[in-house]
Amino acid sequence: MTRVVLAGALLLALLTGCGSDTSADQTVVVYAAASLRSPFTDIGKQFEDANPGASVEFSFAGSSDLVTQLTQGARADVFASADVTNMGKAAEAGLLESAPVNFASNTLTIAVAPGNPKAIASLRDLTRPDIAVVVCAPQVPCGAATRRVEQAAGVELSPVSEESSVTDVLNKVTSGQADAGLVYVTDAIDAKDKVTAVAFPEARSAVNTYPIAVLEQSESPELATRFVDAVTGELGQRVLAAAGFKTP
């Protein structure tokens, strides 16, 4: 009888172990570019619903700042960059567990106050002395894109400040601290009626491609891979498209 009871207990334990959800009580930490805040928050919620017991924690900032934090020892499972340059830096530092996958693209637009009271119609208008313009710092993907569109348009901007993330640029415009700012199309869409977007043709010369990858230091690599699959799969692509992102 004792042997029967022990055998039954062992079988129950094996069945329980085989049937357990590996995502239970696990957290995937995602470092993502600031411009991904809105769609990734949505994807994260749907990911948690599809993976009971799992949770997603985000850290949103400029891609260059995120790479710096990761190289200095910050712990994360997934990195999503707003350009291939900063993902390349992460790869060179030996931070990636797998090859990055491109999942979206984005371009710049000019964000101005609602109704465009300064009548800004082109990138060259941002050089007018009566326009206070804000851009991203050169090391940030949106800043690098800004330099490329300046070259394409043959203009040189004189910004009143250079910010560490595209959301900081947008905040300067929505708060009235700047007349205009160069932000991603998706950020202007997400801001809704807080800004008016002014498209300009030179933006096509600076398309930013967004890659995502699982990090070598991940403590939950299986769950991290599942999150990457969610972003690059039908769910993520649907959410990203609704936010204004284009395919890579």
Give binding residues for molybdate as ranges: 35, 63, 166, 184
Q: What is the 3-state secondary structure (H, E, C) of the chain?
A: CHHHHHHHHHHHHHHHHHHCCCCCCEEEEEEEEHHHHHHHHHHHHHHHHHCCCEEEEEEEECHHHHHHHHHCCCCCCEEECCCHHHHHHHHHCCCECCCCEEEEEECEEEEECCCCCCCCCCCHHHHCCCCCEEEECCCCHHHHHHHHHHHHHCCCCCCCEEECCHHHHHHHHHCCCCCEEEEEHHHHHHHHHHCEEECCHHHHHCCEEEEEEEECCCCCHHHHHHHHHHHHCHHHHHHHHHCCCECC
What residue numbers does the annotated binding site cover?
35, 63, 166, 184
